[in-house]
Structure 1
Amino acid sequence: MAHLQRVPFENLDIGWGRPIRLELDHLYQKIVLERRGGYCYELNGLLAALLEALGHEVRRLSTRVAGKTGELSPAFDHLALLVGGTQEAQLVDVGFGDAFLEPLPLIDEFTRLERQKTVCLEQRGEDWLYLEDRGEGLRVQYVFNLVPHNLQDFGPRNLCQQTAPESHFTQNQICSLATPSGRISLSGSRLIRSESGFKTETELSADEYEAALQELFGMAAR
């Protein structure tokens, strides 16, 4: 939770014409020294290196994200982490929207209430499913197996995410942080505040957007 409240999920470099790179020294420069954020490959990629430096066993997992009609995206579409050995393994993900306020124990049918939704893990053969219920029943969010990968294995998909016209990351700029009771986001030119299940949206001018980026996220526009 502390990570989610301090390190933004954001894809601003794409709109600014800057390549998103996965070398660890670059991630450290961007996220730690420049106090920026990133998307899943960057946030979970750097967190994995930190956890390993602290002595934890970490697997970098390829996940396939479910679309609105249930279709799954290609492999390596999202990076999640499995932390710990067999008996105490936990799914950790600081790069998947408003999910994973705390790690999820890798236990079949593990279920937890997380603010205004229920989250769940299910095992189906060699695959695991991460599901959420926001009042309409459990729906698959992504699917993964436990095969470990290197961060650079995600490189081709990372390039696709930031260049392909059909990628939702090229279609909209996002910058988002968790708060103690909700979330605050800049999506395109809209400021979205979610607190205790209530949401407000405000359309911002260019100047207001830059001010919000600085005041709410501690980031300069470019």
Structure 2
Amino acid sequence: MNAEQVDAYLRRLGAAHPASPTSDALRELQVRHLRVVPFENLSVHLGEEIVLEEKRLLDKVVGARRGGFCYELNGAFGALLAALGFEVTLLAGRVYGEEGRLGIPFDHLALRVRTVDGGDWLADVGFGALSHFPLAFEERGEQVEPGGTFRIATADPDAAGVRGDTVAAGAADLDVVRDGRRQYRLEPRPRVLGDFTAGAWWHSTSPASHFPRSLVCSRLTEDGGRITLSGRTLTRTGIDGTREVRDLVSDEEVLAVYRDGFAIELSAVPAVRSVDRSG
């Protein structure tokens, strides 16, 4: 990223240029990202190609003022952090699904970030609803913050939930746990953005992935709650867990929520594309 791209990204977040890549600066950037840049899968249904290259990600997140899912959001955020002087490592994760079973390899992309004031952090702006702030990567006790009670735990290789799953040689995999429920498993080995291409393709095309089967657009709100548009259903969740659910009837209402709730300008309401379930 060049200086102009960095400045444009920071303007999108409404953030000042940090004086130094500190843990406080990282916290501020992550929560602003979660509030401004939505987690969304609209490209899957709009016929837009998802390309995991830095320029294409910046064109989408900064230039087009859109969101994306994990590969795009954490890919772009990681590029910004690196340009600001943070030491950034891309990590591959596998998301826990039904009955505690793990998803595909390269199911998720998360960031390990080192700051100049010491310590490594798990930064993640691409999981949907998770922690509001980075989690201390080496801490194995509970970490309580507005998004819940979190723990980063050494993974049990016998509890993978996938036949034939193995733990790579070297450092053990880690489970990210929220409120007692495992969210995803992280491999500690460094990755590059291109490693996630097959995962992005699978999540964009496979009927086994929930992304081609549903529409979602969601972001953190200023008060710590959440606004989510799932197809035509608008859900506002308070920081206390209270939920207000409303079905939108007209196309005008849906487009207004995309525009006013997520700053996404669309000419027509996106619809779930047909998915071939024969394979």
After TM superposition, the score normalised by the length of structure 1 is: 0.93
Is 1:132 the counterpart of 2:178? The answer is yes
Aligned AA for 2:173? D
Equivalence for 1:185: 228
Is 1:146 the counterpart of 2:178? The answer is no
Match of 2:141 among 101, 110, 126: 110
8 Å contact 2:122–2:134 — kept in the other structure? yes
1:106, CA displacement in angstroms?
1.1
1:116, CA displacement in angstroms?
6.3
* Helix, strand or coil at the partner of 2:110: strand
1:98, CA displacement in angstroms?
1.5
Equivalence for 1:64: 94
Match of 1:203 among 237, 247, 251: 247
Match of 1:94 among 105, 113, 125: 125
Q: RMSD in angstroms over aligned alpha carbons?
A: 1.6
Aligned AA for 1:176? S
Q: CA offsets per residue over residues 86-125 of structure 1, 9 Å max, x none?
A: x611100001112120000112423122336311111246
Aligned AA for 2:242? F
Larger radius of gyration: 2
Aligned AA for 1:35? R
Which ranges of 4 or more aligned residues in structure 1 deviate by more than 6 Å?
Answer: none
Percent identity, aligned pairs only, is 40
For residues 141 and 181 of structure 1, the distance between their equivalents in structure 2, rounded to whole angstroms, comes to 20
Q: Structure 2 unaligned runs (5+)?
A: 1-30, 156-170, 268-279
Aligned AA for 1:162? S
Give the number of the structure whose residues are more often strand, by fraction.
1
Q: Structure 1 unaligned runs (5+)?
A: none
How many residue pairs match? The answer is: 218
8 Å contact 1:107–1:122 — kept in the other structure? no
After TM superposition, the score normalised by the length of structure 2 is: 0.75
8 Å contact 1:24–1:46 — kept in the other structure? yes
